[in-house]
Structure 1
Amino acid sequence: MAAVLRFFDITLSLVGLIVLFPAFLILLFIGFIDTGSPLFRQTRVGRKRKPFVLTKFRTMKAGTDSVATHLVDAGAITPFGRFLRASKLDELPQLWNVLKGDMSLVGPRPCLPIQQELIAERDSLGVFEARPGITGLAQIQGIDMSTPALLAKTDHQMLNDLGCRQYFRLILFTALGKGAGDRVMH
Structure 2
Amino acid sequence: MSETEGNGAATQQPPQVKMQILGQYIRDLSFENMLVRKGAQGEVSPDISVQVALDARKRTAENQYEIITKFTINSKNKSDDAQLFLMELEYAGIFHIENVPEEQLHPFLLIECPRMLFPFVRRIVSDMTRDGGFPPLNLEPVDFVALYRQEIARRAQQQAQDTPANGETA
The TM-score with structure 2 as length reference comes to: 0.29
Q: Computing the radius of gyration over CA atoms, which structure comes out larger, 1 or 2? A: 2
With the length of structure 1 as denominator, give the TM-score of the two structures: 0.27
Write 1 or 2 for the structure with the bigger share of strand: 2
